[in-house]
Amino acid sequence: MSYKGETLAKKWARQVVWTMLNEGFSDENERHPVLVLASEVGGDVPVARSFGVDDRRLLAVDQRTAALARFSEAYPNVETFRGTMLAALKRTPRIAGAHLDYCGNLSKSVVYDVALALRRLRGNGIIAVNLLRGREHRSRIRIGGTTKPVGEWMRLLKAERPELKPYQVRLMVVMYALKTQGVSPWSLAVYEYQSGVSPMTTFVLRQDPRCFIRHNKTFFYANQPAHEDADWKRAMLDSEFGNADTFAVDRRTWAAWKAHRTMGTYDG
């Protein structure tokens, strides 16, 4: 099963997110669930398993009944919740982490979800928020006492701090919007990557101050699907931490990639 956004770049980005989520798991939060957005693909599950996270520790949320039905067929041991992420968070008092992998832009509802998720975090847990970037200009969000479209907030901040890069400006908008909701997390990393035709950004946030801001430029890839795919295949095959299952690549496809690699080509 595959959906439009399920590109090789996406598979790689998931591994990066889970590497960070995994850093936030500890004795303090081992009994609490990790929230993910399900989709029909459920791409988080095999990656979580590769980090030793048991299916029963995940809570997979989706507001689409059809998506959850397919998800549950593939992953019957993962608990699911049908409804919004906000509703799921409201009934879950403590969490160990979350991968809020939306298919949309930064918006008011994303800010509410992330603020509540951060409040629910226990231990050094991490929240990863994956968004479409670049088309968020019309969504209105509140900063301080004023509500304006995201694009306008970005223009205002950029005018004040012209030296900032777009990802830093976007991060500042997110941080100010969260502060307005009463939470002031730390940013652990910002990743930007191109998933097919969609430019994506991932913010990795935590409440614990032991962190740093990192922006990984290797996640910028030109929108050239053929070359991009070749790069990602090579990266996956060379990776020390992943395999066909964890990248959610069909095992026969994986074997074919390996064979082509041995012959020095991916063509065919």
Ligand X SMILES: C[S@@+](CC[C@H](N)C(=O)[O-])C[C@H]1O[C@@H](n2cnc3c(N)ncnc32)[C@H](O)[C@@H]1O
CA–CA gap between residue 94 and residue 117 (Å, rounded): 9
User: x-or-dash pattern for ligand X, window 165-184, by CB under 6 A?
Assistant: --------------------
* Min separation Cβ 158 and ligand X, Å: 28
| Closest residue by Cα to residue 150 from 166, 135, 129 | 135
Beginning with the edge strand found earlier in the chain, give each strand of the sheet holding 198-206 in spatial order.
79-82, 58-62, 34-37, 95-101, 121-132, 198-206, 186-195, 215-216
Q: Which of 22, 50, 84, 139 binds ligand X (CB under 6 A)?
A: 84
**Residue 42 binds ligand X, judged by CB under 6 A:** yes
**Residue 89 binds ligand X, judged by CB under 6 A:** no
* Min separation Cβ 116 and ligand X, Å: 12
* Min separation Cβ 185 and ligand X, Å: 19
Q: Which of 74, 103, 132, 235 binds ligand X (CB under 6 A)?
A: 103
Judged by beta carbon, residue 187 or residue 198, the one nearer ligand X is 198
Q: Within 47-76, which residues bind ligand X (CB under 6 A)?
A: 61-64, 67
Which are the contacts of 61, defined by CB distance < 8 A and separation ≥ 6? 35, 36, 37, 38, 80, 81, 83, 84, 85, 88
Q: Which of 9, 14, 15, 92 binds ligand X (CB under 6 A)?
A: 14
Give me the count of residues in the chain: 268
How many residues lie near ligand X (CB under 6 A)? Answer: 19
Residues contributing to the site for ligand X (CB under 6 A): 5, 14, 36-37, 39, 41-44, 61-64, 67, 84-85, 101-103
